[in-house]
Copies of this chain bind each other. A is one copy, B any other.
Amino acid sequence: MVKIGIVGISGYSGGKLLERLLKHPQVKVTYISANNTEGPVAQIWPHLNGLSELVCKKYDPVQAATKADIMFLAVPHTVSMTITPELLKLGKKVIDLSGDYRLPSGEDYKTWYKTDHQDKANLKKAVYGLPELYREDIKKAQLVSNPGCYPTAALLGLLPIITAQTKDIESIAIDAKSGVSGAGRKATLALSFGEVNENFKAYKVLNHQHTPEIDLHLSKVAQKPIEVDFVPHLLPVQDGILETIYVRLSGKVTLEKIHQLYQRFYKTENFVRVLDAGQQVELNYVVGTNFCDISLAVSRSGKLLVVTCAIDNLLKGASGQAIQNMNIMCGFKETEGLL
């Protein structure tokens, strides 16, 4: 049994990690912590009452390193980069769910996260934990930077077309809609029931910090600079992301060909389902699972491809993908604990 530590147990992704890892047959959660909440699991997450005797304490690097072999960091950005260096030095493997190690450049970090990066030394060490793209690197990684929820859906929705028709891409607009848990578990008026329920809005229009992650990996795949236009929205649901992606092409495509392309591309992937032509993805199909579902449509002109993809933002978009990465790092079956 691999021994697991989770930092940030009181947030939504930390809680989801705990819930899933408690059932994972090949690991044992041996350390949990959170900064503002201490006490037994049942007090922090009453739905787990009776399922774990673990007690949550303030984060202590020595305790953590003594008790666990792999550390999941489910903490806000800016916190991960203060914890990670010591854990790496102590020889621990780290899977970071924050944004701290997603951008390889400290300058880009400052541009998008509005603060200096405190651990530039380890930025290059971090492997971007999107298994469908970087599986081989993840196997050998000591530090995995788990992708953002929006980029996970965006990249999975775009990889096949980018790979196959790089030259024809004229523009990409991503209209993303996320459930509330994506914003974390916080006491703010903006996330109160009265402001979210029966409401809907765009936010950080063309200005969201997940944008450069998408650009970066699309550009790598395309081997040329790609910039997407990204507009996120807040859905009045708890979990789930659906992205509607508008890919304008210089040449014509047919739905049939594109559908074949996507099916072949993901043929061997466990967690990407390309739906039958004509069927549309729904949040309901993926929430509670680690799947990314993808639907495709092509305009009559043949020059617009509309990709819709859906994931559970806390699973494939965060904790599920983190466990998938752990499975890969540990040589477990990639679906272990996730189906």
Contact = CB atoms under 8 A, between A and B. Distances in A.
Interface of A: 12, 23, 46-47, 49-51, 171, 173, 175, 177, 180-181, 185-189, 191-203, 205-206, 227, 229, 231, 233, 235-240, 242, 244, 246, 248, 273, 275, 279-289, 291, 293, 295, 297-301, 304, 306, 308, 339
Contact of A200 (B23, B188, B237): B237
B199 A237 contact: yes
Copies in the complex: 4
Contacts of A49: 273, 275, 285, 291, 293
A313 to B, nearest CB: 12
A185 B180 contact: no
B201 A281 contact: yes
Contacts of A199: 237, 282-284
Contacts of A231: 244, 306
A205 B297 contact: yes
Contacts of A180: 192-194, 197
A188 B192 CA distance: 7
A193 B197 contact: yes
A229 B306 contact: yes
Contact of A236 (B229, B236, B239, B289): B236
A235 B40 CA distance: 28
